[in-house]
Amino acid sequence: MRFKLFLARLADIYKFTKRFFKNALVPPYEIKEILKQCYLVGNKSLFLIAFTSFLAGIVFTKQSRPSLASFGAESWLPSLVSQAVVRSLGPLITGLICAGKLGSNIGAELASMQVTEQIDAMEVSGTRPFSYLIVSRVIATTLMLPILVVFADVMALLGSLVMVNSINNTGFVLYFNEVAAVVSLLDITSSMVKSGFFGFAIGMVSCYAGYHSGKGTTGVGKSANTAVVVSMIFIFVVDLMGLQILNLFRP
């Protein structure tokens, strides 16, 4: 019985994804709503991502220094930190923060709209709620995550610079020269592409959870919870898959 339910859910997810692409690719396009959602996604998460990334940069630098110092390789600290931040830490921090902040927000908002029949009201007035509510949100998270990741990377590197500077007086120019020497274009583009997939996963999972919410306030809570937990799992899965694919391109 549970396996049957699982298969039914998979079929439902497939239909939802197919409907998304159909609505996203066929006009009329929801340009205005997409721009509004992009603004909300960026605006809602920017401060939190900046703050946590800055702190993560400091902590990662402080924790890495003793290991490098024991090999007499303390001068490699900017190289190590910058590669870790750009390749993995920045996208992961951004993905997880957005999964928590945006996932719960989108999941709960759509679920409460479903419970109070607002989505049905849009449906019966012929206003195409799927395009308006789902397509716009998924496109917004997909477009905004890479931008937020660049921001997170910069903030994490600044945090790291503060730490390195306080230890051995390394200046801004020297630090970023070292960063530029080790961070390749492949690192940056792959990190942005990967975070685009993170954004897509967060948007799709959260919208699906909200759109298919159960009845009542329990349904709203459950949808928000599912949106966050499943989005986070997807982020790690996409990260692992991205790493495997990228290793094929790295020398």
Distance CA 132, CA 199 (A): 18
User: Smaller CB distance to another protein: residue 12 or 117?
Assistant: 117
User: Smaller CB distance to another protein: residue 109 or 153?
Assistant: 109
HEC-encoded secondary structure of 147-159: HHHHHHHHHHHHH
Nearest Cα neighbor of 132 from 225, 217, 24, 216 is: 24
Query: Do residues 136 and 30 touch, judged by C-beta distance below 8 A?
Result: yes
Residues listed for the chain:
251
Tell me the window of 10-18, 94-102, 119-127, 136-144 that interacts with another protein (CB under 8 A).
Answer: 119-127
Query: Do residues 225 and 233 touch, judged by C-beta distance below 8 A?
Result: no
Query: Do residues 86 and 115 touch, judged by C-beta distance below 8 A?
Result: no
Contact status: 121 vs another protein (CB under 8 A): yes
17, 63, 127, 218: which one contacts another protein (CB under 8 A)? 127
Tell me the window of 57-65, 77-85, 121-129, 137-145 that interacts with another protein (CB under 8 A).
Answer: 121-129
Radius of gyration of the chain (CA): 21
Shortest gap between Cβ of 42 and another protein (angstroms)? 18
Binding mask 77-116 for another protein (x = CB under 8 A): ------------------------------------x--x
User: Smaller CB distance to another protein: residue 12 or 120?
Assistant: 120
Shortest gap between Cβ of 1 and another protein (angstroms)? 12
